[in-house]
């Protein structure tokens, strides 16, 4: 804590710890004046000598490349020194591998080409990394993909130091070390061998050799690498050369290896480039067929007219169990509550008729509220509607969890309006808000004190955290467009669907800023949280379950096509059917037959 206080008093405000290493810690931080997000690498004085620190600083300052985590400044504190580096919110390549995320071969080769570009730049400056491994390859979220940055040049060597044997020890990671590294020899070719091991691991889900450090040494020196026979022959040939035991038989430089990679890509068919690896991941989690559990019909007459109104995409649990609130049409200004009966849902209250179509419903603290484009209404017993707040222009609205305040953003005048709901006659107050231009805006109440304003642009999403009193606490930029933002029970964590790749589920932590991308096999616009993790559902009735680490843990197919979904923690999903069928399915995930321990 003393260290945190000392670092907080400097030029940077810490947002949280994101990494811990042998020589210090890595923090997500924001520059107090410019608002720039950075990685602050704190190097403890008692663990890292001045000589080694100056070596790493020298290497970093001499490198400037889009695929290298560049150093922009140096800070000092009483306990150590801090390198200010590019921040990578997507984590490491190791974390991506542990998610068991299937990647198309074309995307894997593109990642390898970017890493080779970075190595070519470093080698041209006379710097050999000497510790290329998935933990040292950082990821930045980009539209539908990742950008890579190489980090941690702490044990790098200069080319002039490689002419003889280095007697400082075989430092590095034995699983990725070239044969000569075990004899204290280094070369640029050693980095390329390590990259070959990483490519093998991305394709198979495992490294070519495993075991203790001594067993790894014997394997790297003597054991040939076995390639799966179903791989394209050109891919096998590329890796066979990259993993040669003798340096002279490998690719001579990173540039030569990248050219060979591009030549390999040209030999592959579109189907081969689209094949996802590792193949074993797809065989371990077959989908479970859906068997209906409790299905409730709706009366043919709902009291709203002769013909039943169609569903909208809004289904909200009532604040008074066991009713379920639902809105009946995207253009009708009507809200109806239904109570769970024996075989069907029965109207619990007379319908509420509002002066305009309902955009959102909230239930909590024993109250139900409806939002139209310009007003907020209390839904009272007996079908009574009471106007609570009137906004000066059409707005996007968020309510705090305790229903203490409502906030609405108006694109027409660019204002953020706050209304305290605890007062009988709430008075609107304009709060300062950043200039958002033509962005589409979505609001989420993070808690009773903080609001998240998501400004959505075609190629990025700016996440502004705003206090209830108005000041902006900072902006986090996600370099991809998102939709379907959903709050979770974990503080400052949200879920989102990526616009450019609707089958990608993003798990976004705001403090510190981290983003996990989970690739699913179907687009899933409906998102929610259950006790086992997160649930996503497609328009075609496919359920996918993901844990907090971004790993796919369950698949269920064959549900009715949903028009609306409500997810009730810890185990239940309510699904309203689309089309002419007027049904609600009550689904307990414990009874779906998933291979999950509850």
This prediction's pTM: 0.91
Pick from 109, 111, 114: which is nearest to 268 by CA?
109
- Give the residue extent of every domain in the chain: 2-86, 93-283
* Active site members: 131
Cis peptide bond N-terminal to 464, omega within 30: no
What CATH class does 93-283 carry? mainly alpha
* Crossing angle (nearest 10°) for helices 188-204 and 254-267: 30
Place of tokens 């169609």: 310
Separation between Cα atoms, residue 419 and residue 155, nearest integer Å: 56
Residue whose tokens read 């620190």: 53
Angle, CA 49 vertex, CA 43 and CA 50 arms, to 5°: 90
For CA atoms 301, 304, 306, 307, give the dihedral sign. negative
Bridge-based pairing state of the strands 288-289 and 552-557: parallel
Q: Contact 187/93 with Cβ under 8 angstroms?
A: no
Residue listed under structure tokens 């687009």: 523
Per-residue pLDDT of the chain (598 residues; tens, 9 = 90+): 445 555 555 688 899 999 887 677 899 999 988 889 999 988 776 666 666 677 667 777 788 899 999 888 888 776 678 889 999 999 999 999 998 888 999 999 999 999 999 999 999 988 898 899 999 999 999 999 999 999 987 666 665 555 544 445 456 789 999 999 998 888 899 999 999 999 999 999 999 999 999 999 999 999 999 999 989 999 999 999 999 999 999 999 999 999 999 999 999 999 999 999 986 554 568 899 999 999 988 776 555 544 445 556 677 777 665 567 776 556 678 888 888 877 888 888 788 899 998 888 887 777 788 889 899 999 888 889 999 999 888 888 999 988 889 999 988 888 899 999 888 778 888 888 888 888 999 999 999 999 999 999 999 999 999 988 877 788 999 999 999 899 999 999 999 999 999 999 999 999 999 999 999 999 999 999 999 999 999 999 999 999 999 999 999 999 999 988 989 899 999 998 877 777 889 999 999 999 888 7
Structural contact between residues 454 and 462, judged by C-beta atoms closer than 8 angstroms: yes
CATH number for the domain formed by residue range(s) 2-86: 3.30.200.20
| Chain position carrying tokens 């009713």 | 323
Q: How far apart are CA 593 and CA 396, in angstroms?
A: 40
Distance CA 163, CA 160 (A): 6
CA distance 470 to 15: 20
Q: How far is residue 491's CA from residue 144's CA, in Å, rounded to a whole number? A: 26
Nearest CA among 447, 371, 437 for reference residue 404: 447
- What is the dihedral angle through the alpha carbons of 93, 98, 99, 104, rounded to the nearest 10 degrees? 60
Q: What is the dihedral of CA 348, 352, 358, 364, to 10 degrees?
A: -50
Residue with tokens 């993003």: 506
């Amino acid at each position: 804590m003393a260290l945190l206080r000392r670092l907080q008093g400097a030029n940077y405000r810490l947002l949280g710890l994101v990494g811990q290493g042998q020589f210090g810690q890595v923090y997500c931080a924001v520059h107090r004046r410019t608002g720039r997000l950075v990685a602050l690498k704190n190097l403890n004085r008692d663990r890292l000598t001045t000589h080694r620190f100056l070596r790493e600083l020298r290497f970093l300052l001499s490198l400037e490349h889009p695929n290298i985590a560049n150093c922009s400044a140096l800070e000092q504190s009483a306990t150590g020194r801090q390198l200010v580096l590019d921040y990578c919110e997507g984590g490491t390549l190791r974390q991506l591998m542990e998610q068991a995320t299937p990647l198309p071969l074309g995307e894997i080769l593109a990642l390898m080409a970017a890493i080779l570009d970075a190595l070519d730049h470093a080698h041209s400056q006379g710097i050999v990394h000497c510790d290329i491994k998935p933990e040292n390859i950082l990821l930045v979220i980009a539209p539908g993909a990742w950008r890579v940055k190489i980090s941690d040049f702490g044990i790098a060597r200069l080319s002039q130091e490689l002419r003889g044997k280095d007697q400082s020890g075989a430092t590095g990671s034995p699983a990725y070390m070239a044969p000569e590294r075990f004899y204290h020899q280094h070369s640029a070719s050693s980095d390329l061998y390590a990259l070959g091991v990483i490519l093998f691991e991305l394709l198979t889900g495992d490294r070519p050799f495993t075991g203790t450090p001594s067993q790894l040494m014997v394997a790297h020196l003597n054991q040939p690498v076995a390639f799966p026979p179903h791989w394209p022959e050109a891919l096998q040939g590329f890796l066979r050369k990259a993993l040669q035991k003798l340096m002279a038989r490998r690719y001579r430089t990173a540039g030569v290896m990248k050219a060979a990679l591009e030549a390999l890509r040209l030999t592959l068919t579109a189907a081969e480039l689209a094949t996802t690896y590792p193949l074993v991941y797809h065989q371990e989690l077959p989908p479970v067929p859906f068997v209906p559990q409790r299905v409730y019909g709706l009366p043919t007459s709902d009291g709203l007219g002769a013909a039943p109104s169609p569903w909208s995409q809004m289904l909200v649990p009532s604040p008074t169990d066991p009713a379920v609130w639902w809105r009946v049409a995207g253009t009708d200004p009507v809200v109806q509550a239904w109570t769970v009966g024996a075989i069907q849902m029965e109207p619990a209250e007379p319908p509420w008729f509002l002066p305009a179509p309902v955009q959102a419903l909230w239930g909590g603290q024993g109250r139900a509220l409806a939002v139209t484009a310009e007003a907020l209404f209390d839904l009272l017993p007996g079908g009574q509607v009471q106007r609570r707040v009137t906004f000066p222009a059409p707005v996007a609205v968020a309510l705090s969890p305790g229903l203490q305040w409502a906030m609405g953003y108006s694109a027409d005048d660019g204002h953020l309006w706050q209304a305290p709901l605890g007062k009988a006659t709430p008075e609107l107050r304009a709060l300062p808000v950043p200039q958002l231009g033509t962005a589409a805006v979505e609001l989420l109440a993070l808690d009773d004190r903080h609001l998240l304003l998501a400004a959505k642009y075609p190629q990025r999403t700016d996440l502004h955290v705003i206090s209830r009193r108005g000041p902006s606490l900072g902006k986090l930029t996600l370099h991809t467009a998102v939709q379907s933002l959903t709050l979770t029970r974990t503080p400052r964590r949200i879920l989102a669907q990526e616009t450019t790749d609707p089958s990608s589920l993003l798990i976004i932590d705001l403090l510190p800023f981290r983003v996990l991308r989970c690739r699913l096999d179907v687009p899933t616009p409906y998102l929610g949280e259950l006790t086992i993790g997160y649930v996503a559902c497609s328009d075609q009735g496919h359920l996918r379950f993901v844990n907090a680490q971004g790993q796919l843990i369950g698949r269920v197919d064959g549900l009715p096509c949903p028009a609306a979904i409500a997810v009730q923690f810890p185990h239940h999903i309510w699904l309203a059917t689309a089309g002419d069928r007027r049904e609600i399915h009550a689904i307990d995930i414990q009874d779906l037959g998933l291979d999950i321990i509850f």
